[in-house]
A and B are shown apart, each in its own frame.
Chain A
């Protein structure tokens, strides 16, 4: 086995709510998990599309913001020390003779796991790219469609394009990191959470962000990395302007694609993976499961709460597959407590047994 390979029991593809909760259920069975996600942060759609929107049908939560749900899930699974490969898309899968799998990502990171659980939602989110010819050659050379590590931009000149939450939020964040932040949008109006819009306004007033609207970036230039962008003001004069910069970050939202998973030999129906819902949400390939929005079966509902249930049954089946000879009975967390892989233990407080007398 190659030395630099990531090894785990269950490899979860997709770090949305379903994938995250699977870590918890696996942890109760002492199975280790590692997650791959094409996005730069865990949470899937909840973090990327609507972190500030409320969800009303999570059992036990009359109302919870999607972003808070992710934060809570991350806290819940922390004792089970999941590993993450973020900002990389699961690309290829290979089944070994012993029944285990090797999954490689778009960036070549290899993962070896006994079980693969696809919790890929609607697929990997691919950034919408601006229609600029030859822009690909600057990718990872000053051009980025998502921000993985904001420190990369410390003391750099950054141009951000876009009019949504991520353009607003990253402009706010980078205003205190980068030496220069220019925010460009096709329109004068931005669409985002009220406090984000207001904060950007404050930073523009304080001259910490240079705002150029309505305008569009038409071209990128530079020898072997981004050195400047060509901008057109969308006013009557259609004035052109060259902005020198170290980085160009177009944040035009993301479009989901089932992507390479569609070529793994899995049975697909209407962009979703067919699974056995009478038992364990296993696909047509033994050892590969599909849970959450990515799967389909008669009566399927794409709800987070259904994904949680599917993740739970998947883990039980995965355990039996890994340890076919072991007998196991499900134990309530209230009874058994939680033993983290980090040595932490949570358990219910013991009741006291004590005589109550009369003085």
Chain B
């Protein structure tokens, strides 16, 4: 088991460097919540609310958006090419050094 280092930039531009476990079946939204970062996660991780939308700043390859995530991002606001739903991004060792920025609240 290992932890990966992830940098999360909040909506005020403050960088939070956090450790995310790869062996707890966690996703990026849950990591934000675990560190009390301002992610509402209304739907609790069902890709149904987009309150955990974030922009991937580093050049990590997170793979394709899944269908649910894609459909939600069609309807959400402030969506960019780099947008992902934190709840659909599992924490894996590939994410070491990941930098993300929280999207504005709607």
Give the interface of A toward B (CB within 8 A).
45, 49-50, 53, 122, 128, 162-164, 186-187, 189, 191, 252-253, 255-256, 270-271, 302
Contacts and interface: CB of A to CB of B under 8 A. Distances in A.
A270 B106 CA distance: 17
A187 B42 contact: no
B62 interface: no
Given A49-B43, A122-B40, A271-B40, A163 B71 contact: yes
A122 B74 contact: no
B4 interface: no
A162 B40 CA distance: 23
Contacts of A122: 40, 42
Given A163-B74, A187-B74, A255 B106 contact: yes
Which of B40, B48, B68 counts the most chain A CB atoms within 10 A?
B48
Contacts of B75: 128, 162-164, 252-253
Given A45-B43, A187-B74, 18 more contacts: A49-B42, A49-B46, A49-B49, A50-B46, A50-B48, A122-B42, A164-B75, A191-B67, A191-B68, A191-B71, A191-B72, A253-B75, A255-B42, A255-B51, A256-B40, A256-B42, A256-B49, A271-B40
B82 interface: no
A162 B49 CA distance: 15
Contacts of B58: none
Interface string B93-106: 00000000000001
Contacts of B44: 302
A128 to B, nearest CB: 7
Contacts of B72: 191
Give the secondary structure class of A's interface: loop
B30 to A, nearest CB: 13
A191 B42 CA distance: 19
Listed from nearest, the 5 A-B pairs whose CB atoms lie closest are A191-B71, A255-B106, A122-B42, A49-B48, A187-B74
Nearest to B72: A191
Contacts of B106: 128, 255
Nearest to A303: B44
B42 A186 contact: no
A128 B79 CA distance: 14
Given A50-B48, A255-B49, A189 B42 contact: no
Contacts of B51: 255
Which of A50, A53, A255 counts the most chain B CB atoms within 10 A?
A255
Contacts of A164: 71, 75
A152 to B, nearest CB: 25
B43 A50 contact: yes
26 contacts: A45-B42, A49-B42, A49-B48, A49-B49, A50-B48, A53-B46, A122-B40, A128-B75, A128-B106, A162-B75, A163-B74, A163-B75, A164-B71, A187-B74, A191-B68, A191-B71, A253-B49, A253-B75, A255-B42, A255-B51, A255-B106, A256-B40, A256-B42, A256-B49, A270-B36, A271-B40
A140 B40 CA distance: 30
B41 to A, nearest CB: 9
A256 B50 CA distance: 11
A191 to B, nearest CB: 4
A302 B49 CA distance: 17
